[in-house]
Amino acid sequence: MTLNERFITTLAAARTGADWAWTEIYRDLAPVVLAFLRGRRAPEPEDLLGEVFLQVVKSVDRFEGNERDFRTWVLAIAHRRMVDAFRHRARRPVDPAPDDLLGAHGPAADAEAQALDNAELTRALSALGTLSPDQQDVLMLRLVADLSVEEVAAVLGKRPGAIRALQRRGLASLRKEIGREGVPL
């Protein structure tokens, strides 16, 4: 989903603080940003999404470019926030609460139904998790966020040739990983 010809007027209205414009921008970009953060297994992806859009609101006056440039700019902010979150988590690891404690504080959902619903996503994320962080970033930005090689290069601060190589090696590794599981592509 993109705003297309409405982008310029929507961005101008957002810069003046129009709620409707921010709603449209959020509805357009939030699913892509959230999918990128979840796909990279960012800690607390919904919280990071909020931080990303707070930064976008604060910095929108400095942005110049078209809709694709805006999308790239927002995903670059998301990538930087994600890297910061990983660094923060490495400095201050968190011990999760035990499952029995969590179960005692509320009704449990149907575990079997949840497992079936999440099986495909779990398999995809598991296969993606075998790749290097750079390969994961490239594939998520290329496939989920639908960015061009040049746009991914701008987000990650790498050259387009490096992005192509990371994508090629990442896809080859995924083919091997999925092939090991006996699942055809």
Residue 50 falls inside a structural domain? yes
Tell me, yes or no, whether 155 lies in a domain.
Answer: yes
Please say if the pLDDT value at position 13 is more than 90.
Answer: yes
Q: What is the pLDDT of residues 61-84, one digit of tens each?
A: 999 999 999 999 999 999 999 999
- Do 77 and 125 lie in one domain? The reply is no
2: domain CATH number is: 1.10.1740.10
105 inside domain: no
Burial class of residue 151, CB neighbours in 10 A (0-12, 13-18, 19+): buried
Q: Which domain holds residue 163?
A: 113-185
**According to the 3-state scheme, what is the secondary structure of 36-84?**
HHHHCCCCCHHHHHHHHHHHHHHHHHHCCCCHHHHHHHHHHHHHHHHHH
Tally of structural domains, the chain: 2
What is the share, in percent, of the chain residues with pLDDT greater than 70? 81
The model's pTM is 0.71
pLDDT 10s digits, 110-133: 666 666 556 666 777 778 888 999
117 shares a domain with 83? no
Residue 37: partners with Cβ closer than 8 Å, 6 or more residues away: 45, 48, 49, 78, 82
Residues 118 and 179 in one domain: yes
* Same domain (yes/no): 82, 120: no
Assess whether 76 and 2 both reside in one domain. Answer: yes
On whether residue 108 sits in a domain, the answer given is no
Considering the domain architecture, whether residues 17 and 81 belong to the same structural domain is answered as: yes
Tens of pLDDT, residue by residue over 28-43, are 999 999 999 999 999 9
